[in-house]
Structure 1
Amino acid sequence: MVTAKEKLTALIITYNEMGYIEKCIESVSFADEIIVVDSFSTDGTYEFLKNHPKVKVIQNPFENFTAQKSFTLKQATNDWVLFLDADEIVTSALQQEILTTISSKTEISAFWFYRQFMFKNEKLNYSGWQTDKNFRLFRKSKVKFSDCKIVHETLDVNGTSGILKEKLVHYCYKNYEDYKGKMLKYGRLKAIESFYKEKQYNYVKMVLKTGWKFFNHYILRLGVLDGKKGFIICYLNALGVLERYKELKRLEQKNELAYYLVMP
């Protein structure tokens, strides 16, 4: 276990995560503190967490991923933070590496984790995800979530960063409709982000970037070697890009309509 001076807080954000959150909580039970911020789940997630003896759950309205994670980070009482998504699992080997790392009095401020993507209960070895990594372990006092992004948030680190050897297991794909919903949601949030950065809808870019996303992940990033599941993942990832441009077009039209309505 970690020493009293180097305690660890596990942080998770949730919305309708029953079927995922149970295993996630179990995998971080070694942490000294577990805090979950729930954005008013309707599937029993909040009730499960509220009755869990090791979990402190707080409900907070969801604005975007960066805002929600920034709010959640502020809730931690310990400096060392392990920040997970509800569909991620810490293996026993990774647990040991985490504890060893924070007990070593390292000067490193934040650590990247590589992730093993899971398609239901099968490994997804390619499809663009083989080099995916995220900051998951860091000192609260040395980081902040960047305001530049509202989805696929970026962590600004004051100090050096490192990489842990063991992988975090990511159960990204529960079923077709669930993953499709995620990709469409991410696409719409990216559109809002682009809109506020004054990026304009372009039909040619929409076609080219959607096609490139599929070609890059399925052919160049070897999604074809993942078989049927690789095709599904690459198709839905490309669908998210298409949705981003379609939503950007809708936002521009809505903005133009509002402009004409308020004109004298």
Structure 2
Amino acid sequence: MDKSVLTIITLNSPGITNFAMARNELLAKVKTPWVLFLDSDETLSSALESEIDLAINHEPSTIYSAFAIPRLDTFLGRELKHGETGSAQFVRLARRDYGLWIRPVHEVLVPVGARHGSPAKIGVLKNPILHTPHPTIASFLDKINLYSTLEADYRFKQ
């Protein structure tokens, strides 16, 4: 992928308590037209890399301001194909000026204003981000405890 067109940001900082703030700080430093956000436990397949390259370097880039990407979750080595995670899609690929991240945990990229006088259009890519978050039951429980605490704090402040 062309580094003059796309910056890939992988959020990998232990101790983050506000993921949206951390992402927005990194987004403010981006100089390329497009940015892709990944978590430290996510990777791209070669098929997704090719699809992203086509999306941002050819006609779709003139139509869309951002792209939602499906995510394939695995848990203890098994793909999760059903339920909430089976159909999850996230806006992770966007023009640098598309939007800002909100929510301290389970953060979401939301559009700010309109691009070129029209509402932001979001395309959908076919190939998934590969997500392998929990190598052990203990790591799963640790992350659930952290995220539930952050979510409770966020909701309490609302």
Shorter-chain TM-score category?
A: 0.7 to 0.9
Pairing partner for 2:155 from 194, 207, 210: 194
2:119 is aligned with 1:163: no
Richer in helix (by share) = 1
Rate the CA distance shift 1:106–1:3 in 2: closer, same or farther, 3 A. farther
Q: Distance in 1 between matches of 2:157 and 2:23?
A: 20
Q: Distance in 1 between matches of 2:141 and 2:43?
A: 22
For 2:7, give the aligned amino acid.
T
What is the aligned partner in structure 2 of residue 139 from structure 1? Answer: 95
Pairing partner for 1:118 from 71, 74, 89: 74
Flag structure 2 segments of 5+ consecutive residues without an equivalent: 115-119
Q: Could you tell me the TM-score, scaled by structure 2's length?
A: 0.86
Flag structure 1 segments of 5+ consecutive residues without an equivalent: 17-38, 40-61, 198-264
Q: Distance in 1 between matches of 2:155 and 2:33?
A: 33
Structure 1: 4+ residue segments shifted above 6 A: none
Would the aligned equivalents of 2:17 and 2:150 in 1 still touch at CA under 8 Å?
no
What does 1:143-222 correspond to in 2, within 5 Å?
A: 143-146=99-102, 149-157=103-111, 158=114, 159-197=120-158
Identify which of structures 1 and 2 has the higher relative contact order when contacts are C-alpha pairs closer than 8 Å and 6+ apart: 2
Would the aligned equivalents of 1:108 and 1:160 in 2 still touch at CA under 8 Å?
yes
SS at the partner of 1:84? Answer: strand
Which one has a bigger Cα radius of gyration?
1
Rate the CA distance shift 1:107–1:122 in 2: closer, same or farther, 3 A. same
Richer in strand (by share) = 2
Q: Distance in 2 between matches of 1:93 and 1:63?
A: 33
* Alignment size in residue pairs: 149
Q: Can you list the C-alpha shifts for 1:231-258, whole angstroms capped at 9, x where unaligned? A: xxxxxxxxxxxxxxxxxxxxxxxxxxxx
2:41 is aligned with 1:87: yes
Would the aligned equivalents of 1:111 and 1:164 in 2 still touch at CA under 8 Å?
yes
CA positional deviation for 1:63: 3.9
SS at the partner of 2:85? Answer: coil
Would the aligned equivalents of 2:92 and 2:109 in 1 still touch at CA under 8 Å?
no
SS at the partner of 2:47? Answer: helix
For 2:54, give the aligned amino acid.
T
